[in-house]
Structure formats: C-alpha cells, structure tokens
Amino acid sequence: MKRALLSVWDKSGLIPFASGLAAAGYELVSTGGTARAHAIAESCRAKADVVARDEFETGETMRVHMRYRADGRIERPVFGLAIHRHDGVHICGPNTAFSGFEIPWVEGEGEIIYTIPSLPLLEGMYLLSVSATDDRDIEIFDYHDRAYPFRVRRGRHQERF
C-alpha cells in the first residue's frame, strides 16, 4: 500500500486533499508538534548499507538515520524514536536524553544516527516513530507516530517466541 505523510502548519483545504489521497488508495500518516523543528526518519540501513532498507534480520546491525531541520536555534533538543509491533505493542523508546547524549543546541539541518548493534527483534512487522522535543518534554517540535514500517526476518540466530 502507498503511504502519504501529512505534515502541515496551515490546515485550510486539508480535508479535501486528504480525502482525495485516501480515495486514490493512500494510507494517511500524520505528524504532530509545534513545527519549530522537523524530524524525519530518512532511512533505516544495515551496518554496511549505503541505501535505505525496510527489511532486516534478527541479530543484524540496524541504523536509523533521522534528519532534522530547525528553523531557528533550539536549545537542548531531544531526538527520539520508538518501535512498536504491528499489533501496537510498544517495544522500546530510546532518545538522546536517555542515552546521555546531550545536544547543547541545533540550528539548520543535521542528522542523528541511532545504531542498534544487534537487532533483538523476532520475525514480524514493526513500526518506527521519530520525535523531536524540548529537554523538559513540554514542547513537541515534531512527531511521526508509527510512520515508518519495517520487517524483521529470522536471522542466523535461533530465537523463538
């Protein structure tokens, strides 16, 4: 199924536009936040990959490349991600603050790369979310809830449920 990511500040005309996309067979995914900064999971890659992937193996290295754009200087931003199983169960939700990776400020464009050295997920479908917030978790700059699907296939390890 085709997906359309909707992230707008001015919502005028949004309903007819979104209805047209839905009628054309698109699954609609929306974002939320104040839009002082924008975050997007540009790609997921394995350890040595140059191009994006949406399929991985259990035990494989997975890298999430999250691009951001801040329209002005933002003090102490926190960038995070979350992984949910296809049935909605929350698996994990790391962020730069939990990891002790303090970012003094951002301005303009940049990239955060989150590396999972050995993917501990069992075979199945998963959904990735990304976010950018302030350090007190009061202002959400941007949030893409379960906007990026990916599949995990059984790797060389014999993990089972």
Residue 91: band (very low, low, confident or very high) from pLDDT cuts 50, 70, 90? very high
**Residue extents of the structural domains in the chain:** 1-32, 33-153
Percent of the chain with pLDDT strictly greater than 70: 76
Position 148 scores a pLDDT of: 87
106/70 Cα distance (integer angstroms): 7
Does the pLDDT of residue 92 top 80, yes or no? yes
Does the pLDDT of residue 151 top 90, yes or no? yes
Percent of the chain with pLDDT strictly greater than 90: 40
Residues sharing a CB contact under 8 Å with residue 116, sequence separation 6 or more, in sequence order? 61, 62, 63, 64
- Residue pLDDT, tens place only, 10-28: 656 766 776 777 788 877 6
Q: Which residue has the higher pLDDT, 54 or 49?
A: 54
Position 46 scores a pLDDT of: 66
The CATH topology of domain 33-153 is Coagulation Factor XIII; Chain A, domain 1 (2.70.50)
Position 83 scores a pLDDT of: 96
105/29 Cα distance (integer angstroms): 29
